[in-house]
Amino acid sequence: MVVRRVGPLSVAKISGVLYAIFGFIAGAFISLFSVVGSAFTPDNAGFPGLLFGIGAIILLPIVYGLLGFVFSLLGAALYNLIAGWVGGIELDLQ
Query: What's the domain count of the chain?
Result: 1
Higher pLDDT, 88 or 73: 73
Asked if the model's pLDDT at residue 94 lies above 90, the reply is no
Strands, E assignment, 1-94: 2-3, 89-90
Specify the pLDDT at position 16. 97
Q: What is the pLDDT of residues 14-62, one digit of tens each?
A: 999 999 999 999 999 988 888 777 777 776 666 677 777 788 889 999 9
Specify the pLDDT at position 46. 63
Cβ atoms of 83 and 89 within 8 Å: the answer is yes
Burial bucket for residue 65 (CB in 10 Å: 0-12, 13-18, 19+): buried
- Residues spanned by the domain of 82: 2-90
